[in-house]
Amino acid sequence: MATDVKVPVLGESITEATLGEWLKQPGDAVEADEPIASLETDKVALEVPAPEAGVLGPLQVEVGDTVEVGAVIATIEAGNGSAAKAAPAAKAEAAPAPAASEEPAASMTLSPAVRRLVLEHGVDPSKISGTGKDGRLTKDDVEKYVKSGTSAPLVEKGAATGAEAPAATPAAAGGNRNEERVRMTRLRQTVAKRLKDAQDTAALLTTFNDVDMTAVMETRSKYKELFARKHGVKLGFMGFFAKAACLALKDVPAVNAQIDGEEIVYHDYVDISVAVSAPNGLVVPVIRNAEAMSFADVENTIGDFGKRAKDGTLTMADMKGGTFTISNGGVFGSLMSTPIINPPQSAVLGLHRIEKRPVVMPDGSIQARPMMYLALSYDHRLIDGREAVTFLVRIKEAIEDPTRLLIDL
């Protein structure tokens, strides 16, 4: 007797999702609670576990289909996977199987984003070591493999495949001009809508400052080994900036507030949203009550977010709320940016890469110092320019003299 695989409860007020990828195929043996599919909601990707052990039966939906909570997407049948592959749903049978040269490593399970990178760079995914959950490939895996220079291109279409090559099309003088259309994920559609809404609603403005990272870098160098031994986590830069932001938000509460209709809501707590890279894009989990946390608490929380983002196990609750955002584009090499606020929040702090630049010191000498540009984008309807500048000055003071973080100055 077959058991239905249903779309699980997705979270508060979430009634539907998009089928992101099948992690198992018809005829594959599955264990109870083993992930067999990935669903994409407006904020996170969720895995659908097998309700019991057996063999995955016909698939009822295809990648890209929208499914509602409780909908049947497949069945689990009795067996151990040794039987012939189960036939896919009629909907899938109608689609012709892609040629081997068009769909690299068809036996591998690749997310749409990873598949797009594989096709774009013409690499063989079977030669790349996956670091995602259950050894699956992530975008970072493919990008690192390409940058390493060890990638070998796949066989081009129609070349030594045993299949008749299609009629040749005159090539443009500049080379191939291929195009590919890929449906936007539900997460990317939501991000696009929210960012555009922020631009249309808020009076966005960005102010800049720079900060000398010498003191923080010296503090990290001096205490990083002791910190790691005691707390089991590395001492990073985000801990310093999160604690500095808590002090600055206390001094300039408007930056930690939000507009609700004709009212301003001020928060006496600090819930910091931090941008974290995930296989399907950036996600923004929340460090709650950051003002009451130690450096170790902040670093442990961020490290846990990063790991769970990579594994795809972040939940809707992890990203709900937030009163202020910190986005670190410096990890990707960004020198300067104008980040967009995360509604209904009113401000976002952008961090950037550290590089040595000549700085005139108080004694008139010129020294090469490790400098970072800071950017604060804010809603000018609520936050005045004076408040925005004051906030960044408070951040600068705390980072250039970390003792202030200990004595609450």
How far is 37 from 46, CA to CA, in rounded Å? 8
The H-assigned helical ranges of 19-169 are 90-93, 112-121, 139-147
Phi-psi region of 368 (alpha: psi -120 to 50; beta: other; left: phi over 0): beta
Copy the structure tokens of residue 226.
């002791």
Single-letter amino acid code for the residue at 24: K
Annotated active-site residue 380? The verdict is yes
Q: Residue 306: which H helix or E strand, with range? A: helix 295-311
Strands (E), 311-391: 324-328, 347-351, 355-360, 366-379
Annotated active-site residue 384? The verdict is yes
Degrees to nearest 5, angle at CA 403 with 400 and 406: 135
How far is 244 from 403, CA to CA, in rounded Å? 11
- 3-class DSSP state of 176: coil
Copy the structure tokens of residue 188.
């990317």
How far is 336 from 373, CA to CA, in rounded Å? 6
Radius of gyration of the chain (CA): 25
**Which residue among 124, 384, 401, 408 is the active-site one?**
384
What is the total residue count of the chain? 409
**Which residue among 134, 251, 380, 401 is the active-site one?**
380
Q: Which residues are catalytic?
A: 380, 384
